[in-house]
Amino acid sequence: MKGSAGHKVLLFVLLPDVIMRPIMMTHSQALQGICELVGPIGWIDAADEMQPYLHEERGLYEGTAAAVVKPASTAEVAAVLKLCNEAGLGVVPLGGNTGLVGGGVPDFPDGQGIVLSTQRLNAVRDVDALNQTITVEAGVILAEIQRIAEEAGTLFPLSLGAEGSCQIGGNLSTNAGGVQVLRYGNARDLVLGLEVVLADGRIWNGLRALRKDNTGYDLKHLFMGAEGTLGIITAAVLKLFPRPPARETALCAAGDAGSLLQVLKRMRNSAGEALSAFEIMNRFGIEIAEKHVPSANDPFDEPHREYALIELSGGNGIRETLETVLEEALEDGLIDDAVLAASTAQSDELWAIREAIPEAQKHEGGSIKHDVSVPVSSVGDFLEEATSLVEAELPGVRVCAFGHAGDGNIHFNLSQPPGADKGAYLENWGRINRLIHDMVMGMGGSFSAEHGIGQLKRGDLVRYKSDVELSLMKAMKMTLDPKNIMNPGKVI
Ligand SMILES: Cc1cc2nc3c(=O)[nH]c(=O)nc-3n(C[C@H](O)[C@H](O)[C@H](O)COP(=O)(O)OP(=O)(O)OC[C@H]3O[C@@H](n4cnc5c(N)ncnc54)[C@H](O)[C@@H]3O)c2cc1C
């Protein structure tokens, strides 16, 4: 201590100017330093090679960057951020680039900054079967984690349509949901510890593999769902679960969504935590899935208005439970028909219908999208009221409502009227979003159930969050990233 204090005084005497004035690094000096640090394998600055990292799949956002940087270790991420922070150079973290709100697309106020891809941070650091945990780096693909968990005789339950290309760092940064939230929770519920590189380059090693740890603020939750605006998640300790010995899948059809929610209630009461998915789809969703995706086939002879895909996973008795609840629902007139998968292949076929809908919608022209949630008890009312509203506002619109009804989360998507001009139709996006989001918020819901804020919903955040909540969010941002280098222009 003595020595270091003396050292500081000596520097002040010899170099007062240097100590008093902050030394600002220029953007080009920082870029040069980063390029040298990561080497040619971790550096892209040719326009055509950067292209895949600068736009998102819906084509809503396109950005520019000085370079795409791919560090190979946490230490390299830290060194890169330190340089960026010194120069005030913006950084957009990017995982699998499957996000749906433009969060991974650069929107630098000064047009300067880098995309930091976590593609090369792809090590599985540890699998602890007894502790039921897996420690992975941010760039590991979600499907790969599921596969490794299975090899270890366990389950990692996060599951979503993009699982073949999204990365765990992106999943945690968006607090992804998916099809098994009903039983296992959102991404943040599956995490025990995190490693994060802060904006100034410091590394927070919070990689604790503990199920009990009441030692002050639970910092990991700040970074999950922050969409890269507070730091870069470089690794995580994830929870593993026992693998259910069996799964049973059914598709049932009804005249209205409210009846299906009654089935949900009964299924929950009878199956308890064995109920792992309850997805709803309307007729239009099934029709277009069958029309555009060869693997999707409607198993019923007659068309119906609403459908629910139900999955139970667990041990003995789940098939009987599924059969009994559906038989009683048929007798009571809640549903009109039901099919139960007799094999894994048939179960996969039923899931193929649900999974085909987002792809099928792309072939039906412009689509105005909503990723909203309401209390489960309000899902039926929401669907009725929202459908009447948009049919009045956009004559001829085709409602494609599907999603995780068991969590109250509906993707309320609106395909353009056949033959309409796509560009002119999409000009209604903001107006219709506003009407639907106002309705959802009036029902005690959320204008972004699982995809986050990114660039798409920045305005909604300001409109619907209270001043108190916004000021707390801003205070956190100022504390962790005072120079606003982390994903500038996103979320807040
Ligand atoms: C077909 C399809 C189906 C989908 N289904 C679902 C679904 O059911 N549920 C759901 O929730 N989402 C779903 N999504 C959306 C998307 O897959 C998820 O948001 C996913 O979690 C994003 O992961 P990613 O690796 O692609 O992240 P990216 O798109 O690369 O990034 C998303 C955001 O996280 C930030 N980020 C990425 N990595 C890091 C990191 N290591 N540290 C800090 N910030 C980071 C980015 O800056 C960006 O803001 C779906 C998308 C598609 C295309």
- DSSP states along 185-219: --GGGGEEEEEEEETTS-EEEE----S---SS--T
Tokens of 238: 């994830």
Ligand 1 neighbourhood includes 170 CB (under 6 angstroms): yes
- Span from the CA of 36 to the centroid of ligand 1 (angstroms): 29
Q: HSE-up of 249 (CA within 13 Å, CB side)?
A: 17
Gap between the terminal Cα atoms of the chain: 41
Question: How many Å apart are CA 146 and CA 132, to the nearest integer?
Answer: 13
Question: How many Å apart are CA 137 and CA 122, to the nearest integer?
Answer: 5
Ligand 1 neighbourhood includes 162 CB (under 6 angstroms): yes
What pLDDT does residue 3 have? 35
Q: Where exactly are the structural domains of the chain?
A: 22-117, 124-242, 244-362, 364-452
pTM: 0.93
Residue with tokens 């789940």: 318
What pLDDT does residue 13 have? 42
What pLDDT does residue 356 have? 96
- Span from the CA of 294 to the centroid of ligand 1 (angstroms): 27
User: What pairing do the DSSP bridges indicate for beta strands 124-128 and 154-155?
Assistant: unpaired
Atom of ligand 1 nearest to the CA of 161: 3
Provide the CATH topology of domain 124-242. 3.30.465
- Span from the CA of 171 to the centroid of ligand 1 (angstroms): 5
Taking domain 244-362, whether its CATH number is 3.50.50.60 is answered by no
Q: Which of 226, 247, 214 has the alpha carbon at shortest distance from 175?
A: 226
Atom of ligand 1 nearest to the CA of 359: 1
- Span from the CA of 63 to the centroid of ligand 1 (angstroms): 17
Instruction: Specify the residue with its C-alpha closest to ligand 1, atom 8.
Output: 178
What pLDDT does residue 22 have? 56
Pure H helices in 40-176: 47-50, 74-87, 142-151, 168-173
- Span from the CA of 134 to the centroid of ligand 1 (angstroms): 20
Question: How many Å apart are CA 418 and CA 33, to the nearest integer?
Answer: 54
User: What pairing do the DSSP bridges indicate for beta strands 191-198 and 231-239?
Assistant: antiparallel
Ligand 1 neighbourhood includes 139 CB (under 6 angstroms): no
What pLDDT does residue 110 have? 78
What is the dihedral angle through the alpha carbons of 468, 474, 475, 477, rounded to the nearest 10 degrees? 150
364-452, which class in CATH? Answer: alpha beta
- Span from the CA of 33 to the centroid of ligand 1 (angstroms): 29
Question: Are both 22-117 and 244-362 of the same fold?
Answer: no
Question: How many Å apart are CA 387 and CA 395, to the nearest integer?
Answer: 11
Q: HSE-up of 1 (CA within 13 Å, CB side)?
A: 0
Length of the chain counted residue by residue: 492
3 state DSSP class of 340: strand
Contact 282, 401 (CB under 8 A): yes
What pLDDT does residue 17 have? 46
DSSP 368-428: E--EEE--GGGHHHHHHHHHHHHHHHSTT-EEEEEE-GGGTEEEEEEEPPTT--HHHHHTT
DSSP 297-312: ----SS--SEEEEEEE
Residue 108, number of CB atoms within 10 A of its CB? 20
What pLDDT does residue 109 have? 78
**Which residues make Cβ contacts (< 8 Å) with residue 121, sequence separation at least 6?**
71, 72, 73, 74, 77, 137, 138, 139, 169, 234, 235
Mean pLDDT, the chain cut into blocks of 10 residues (492 residues total): 38 45 82 98 97 91 96 98 97 98 92 94 97 98 98 96 97 96 96 98 98 96 98 98 96 96 97 96 98 97 97 94 98 98 97 96 96 97 97 98 95 97 97 98 98 97 97 98 97 94
Question: How many Å apart are CA 173 and CA 171, to the nearest integer?
Answer: 6
3 state DSSP class of 43: strand
Atom of ligand 1 nearest to the CA of 142: 25
Provide the CATH topology of domain 22-117. 3.30.43
Question: How many Å apart are CA 331 and CA 333, to the nearest integer?
Answer: 5
What pLDDT does residue 23 have? 61
3 state DSSP class of 44: strand
What pLDDT does residue 24 have? 83
